[in-house]
Structures are given as structure tokens and as C-alpha cells.
Amino acid sequence: MSEQFARIVAALEAPVRQGRTGRIRRGIEKEGLRVDPLGRISQLPHPRQLGSKLTHPYITTDYSEALLEFVTPVYSRPSDALDFLADLHRFSYRQLGDELIWPASMPAWLDGNASVPIADYGSSNTGQMKQVYRRGLDVRYGRIMQSIAGIHYNFSLPDAMWRELAALEGKSGVGLCEYRSQGYFRLIRNFRRTSWLLMYLFGASPAFDRSFLDGRKVEGFEALGRRTLVSEHASTLRMSDLGYHNKVQDQLKVCFDSLDEYVDTLRHAVSTPWPDYQRTGVEVDGQWRQLNANILQIENEYYSDIRPKRVARHNQTPTQALEADGVEYIEVRCLDINPLLPLGIDETQIRFLDAFLIRCLLADDAPIGAAECARLDANRGRVVTQGRDPGLMLEFEDGALSLAEAGGRLFDELRAAAGLLDLAERNTPHADAVEALAPRIGDPALTPAGEIFAALSREGEDFIDWTLERAREQAAEFLGTPMDRAREALLDQLVETSLIQQRDIEADDELSFGEYLAGYFARAEAVAKRA
């Protein structure tokens, strides 16, 4: 543990104990494919009984019409976020008939690219833009990659904490907005240095169904059962080159040294044509294939393990919102759905994530140069595909370390961060979470990927069959437990409210889609030029 880290933790103890720093705020976004009783991706439209996926604040879809996305409100207590997420599952299962929610990150049984239906958000210009963007993802990366699901964890600190930190660093004269953004980017840089630990501890995708390959040839996997391919040492194939990966985006090299760098890089990507995408065409014979032919159609197309975020106002792009008011929260995007847990995540994981992110915020920091950026990418690549190999070595500035040794060093600082957070708690939930997960460092079999690999190997069962059984068990549990009555009434009301809101949006459109899109990008370009 560095002297600087220990000093900052010690200096924060009194403010945290006295309640002067406020409480962490958390939100969860969880995706899950709708599947039929045989484990095939659903071809049915999003159920109307769930409301409008365009306007519903809590139940929507991601890429595919079949890819549900549940979004919780922001809470200070992890249990509140998990309770809301559980009720979203209960409410949805009451409307799904015999369909199930796939409880794993790697997808269900697919029948080629076309079997992944693109989400339809209606006839409004806003809805059409969302669908055309997804068509663009299809022509660029294929639909099958977009059928992979995950969990996003949204994390923010109250202004009181930022003021305390600014005072400790002698930066009380810096504007709060600027200081907060600098702090979040410090957190993000240290996250990038250590996110391999999260992928090892929580990776839960060591196997997949052959249909995911759609005829592609891959090496390094063992056959299991009739249809399954497994990786003996992988932690999270979802985060590997097999999953969310794009070589065009690799050349962006965003290492998050500042808000200005991040905004400038994304704006460059959104405004720079890419030859292959130009050859595809944008609007061809009256049909929109993609929003534009640039490296990124829009800023959200950039894939990253973590993102700085701010809720955008009307007609703002994400970077415009960040530039105007700074970073509001961060979104952790490297988490697999754990099929062994009913919600794919639990309070122990959340408490650990909190300690991990606080450690990232308070740890020693420096800009990430090109050499370090390459080293971080290499470590990440090793862990996602070989993380459970007991002999795995990772590269650091001062030499190579085994994953177990590097993880052990990190746990020393995680214990200090957890102890700091627990000063504001009645008990020690963060310290308990860190200690509960510590044994995984020395024993890869205790990780979710290790448990899943062992279960599949022991039972000789196909990934689809094993995961389908987990889905049935979870469906029975959700259907067999009652919802919070007030929340049930709210979700009932939001079904009709969201459908009315979508109809109103569609009725208010006056521009053609081409005019609407031209105006959207013209506004974004004007802001970029002023900057």
C-alpha cells in the first residue's frame, strides 16, 4: 500500500465517520434475452404489456427486439437497487407467457445472423434513429455480437465527498464541476489499470453454444456435449475478441487522460469517414443502412470497459452534456451476468465494486502513456481468455507478476477502502464482501467461470441445456414471490403512460427522417466547431 493512498484514507476517516461525505449512489442496468421454452432466441415482438421500449424508464431493450434491458433508479442502499431489479423481473415474467429470460451473457440458441431481430422503436424520428443506428451495427459488426448481454453498474459520489477531497488536496479553489470531472477521470485511469481483477473475479462466460459462431472457425476451445465449446482457463469470453471487440475502434486509443481528450477523440471518430463503411453506403435505394459512414455513427458506439457519463438534456449528445456540466457518474461495463445468481449480481458484488471504485479514486495516479496503454490492453486480453490458468503472468512497469500476487497486492488497498466505507455503516458490509471474495484470488475454481466450467464438465451437459435449467429455476422463483405493491402499481401505470408518450412523440414529428438526422448532426458539428 502506497504512503499517499494510506494518507488520504486516514484523512478521510473522520469526515466519513461524521457523515460529512454523504453516501454512494448506485444504479444497475441488466440485459437479458427473451427465449422460447427450448432456449431459442425469441422472434416475437417486445410484449405490449411491458409498455413502450422507447419511453419506459425502467423496461426497455438494447440492440435486439428480444434483448430486454432493466434499468433501476439510483439508490444509496444496494438492497434497494436489487429489490427494484427483482420486481422488474417479477413484473416482466407475469407478461411473458412461456418465454424465459436468458440468465447468461453468452447468448441462447441462434439460427444465423437474421435470427437476432433488430429492435423496433416505432415510426417517430427518434425511434427510427435508434433502429437505423442498430442497422449500422449489423452491417459493421453483425447482429450475433450484439446478442451478448451484460450488467452495467452506475456509480456516483455526492458533492460533499468531492468537496472533502478537494480540501484535502488543497484544490478548494477549483470549481466543483471541474474538480469532480478530474476525480472521475483519475478513477477511470486507475480502473483501466486494474479492471483485469474484476474480469477475473466476476467473469462468468467460459462456454458458448456453437450457433454463436455462425459457421466461423475458431481455435483454442474444447468440444463438450453436442453443441458446446468451452475454454479451460477463460474468465469472460464476452469481453474477449470473440465477444465485444472491434478492430476499427482499436485505433482510437482512448486512455482517458482528461475530459477534453475523451471528448475530442469521440468527436473525431463521429466525424471521420471510414472507407469500408463508405463502401457500404448510408441511404441506398431509399433504405437507411447506417446513420453515417464514420468511424462511429454516434458516441455511444464506442465500446469501453468503463464510461464517464452525464444525463443529457433534450437535443444534447453525450459529449455535449459532459462538456457543458462535467462528469456526473461512471458506468462500469465489464461485468458478466452470473447465471448462478437470480439477478446475475448480488450485494456482495456491489459492495466489492464500491470498495474497488473508491480504491481507484484514491490510489496513486499519473497519465497513461502509450507503453502503459499497450501493457494494460495485453493484461486485459490475457485475463479474459486465460484468467483461470494458475501460471498466468501479468506485465507491470516494474516487471511480471502472477495474477495471484498482483491480486493479493490490490486486496491490501481494497481492505483499506472497504474499511473507510464501513465507517458510515452500522456493520462491515464492504469489508465482509472483500473477505468473501479474497479466496478466489488463490483458487480459480471459486470464480463464477470456474464454477460454471466445473458444472458443465462434471455433468457433460450442453451450455444451452444447463443455462435453460437455470432460467426455469429463476422464472419459478420470480413468479412464486410477490412484488412490492406500490411498485407493482407504478409499473402497471407506466405501461400505459409509456405507450401514450410514444404516440405523442410520433404525432409531434414534423420533419422527414432525413431532415431530422441532418439537423442532429449539424447541431453536433456546430458545437464541436465552437469548442
Over residues 394-421, the mean pLDDT reads 96
Cβ burial, residue 478 (10 Å; 0-12/13-18/19+):
buried
Give the Cα separation of 174 and 210 in Å (integer): 55
Q: Residue 384 is which amino acid?
A: V
Residue pair 147/63 in contact (Cβ under 8 Å)? The answer is yes
The model's pLDDT over 178-236, given as tens digits with 9 standing for 90+, comes to: 999 999 999 999 999 999 999 999 999 999 999 999 999 999 999 999 999 999 999 99
Going by pLDDT thresholds of 50, 70 and 90, the confidence category of residue 2 is confident
Only one residue has cell 481468455, namely 385
What local confidence, expressed as pLDDT, does residue 314 receive?
Answer: 79
> Per-residue pLDDT tens for 350-386?
999 999 999 999 999 999 998 998 999 999 999 999 9
CB 296 within 8 A of CB 136: no
Look at residue 245 in the predicted model and tell me its pLDDT. 63
User: Residue 222 has what pLDDT?
Assistant: 95
pLDDT of 254 reads: 75
Q: Whole-number mean pLDDT of the chain?
A: 95
Mean pLDDT, range 257-278, rounded to an integer: 92
Please, how many CA atoms are within 13 Å of residue 264, restricted to the half-sphere of its CB?
9
494-524 pLDDT, tens per residue?
A: 999 999 999 999 999 999 999 999 999 988 7
CA-closest candidate to residue 463, choices 450, 452, 477: 452
Percentage of the residues of the chain whose pLDDT score is greater than 90: 90
Would the pLDDT of 450 be above 90? yes
pLDDT above 70 for 528: no
Mean pLDDT computed over 452-463: 94
pLDDT at 96 over 60: yes
Helix (H, G, I), strand (E, B) or coil at 36: coil
**pTM attached to this predicted model:** 0.96
Quote the CA–CA distance of 512 and 506 in Å, as a whole number.
12
Give the model's pLDDT for residue 173: 87
Q: Which of 456, 480, 442, 25 is nearest to 231 (CA)?
A: 456
Structure confidence at residue 530 as a pLDDT band (50, 70, 90): low
Q: Which residue from 400, 381, 384, 403 is spatially nearest to 392, judged by alpha carbons?
A: 403
Residue 531 has pLDDT above 60, yes or no: no
- Distance (Å) of CA 399 to CA 56, 393, 395, 396, 406: 50, 10, 6, 5, 11
Average pLDDT on 401-420 reads: 97
Per-residue confidence (pLDDT) for residue 266, from 0 to 100: 92
- pLDDT of amino acid 524: 75
Q: What is the pLDDT of residue 155?
A: 98
How confident is the model at residue 255, as a pLDDT?
64
Query: pLDDT, tens digit, for every residue of 29-63?
Result: 999 999 999 999 999 999 999 999 999 999 999 99
Q: Which of these ranges, 103-112, 177-186, 245-254, 475-484, has the smallest mean pLDDT?
A: 245-254
| Alpha carbon distance 140, 294 (integer Å) | 11
pLDDT tens figures, 299-329: 999 989 999 999 988 778 999 999 999 999 9
Single-letter code of the amino acid located at 7: R
Residue 525 has pLDDT above 90, yes or no: no
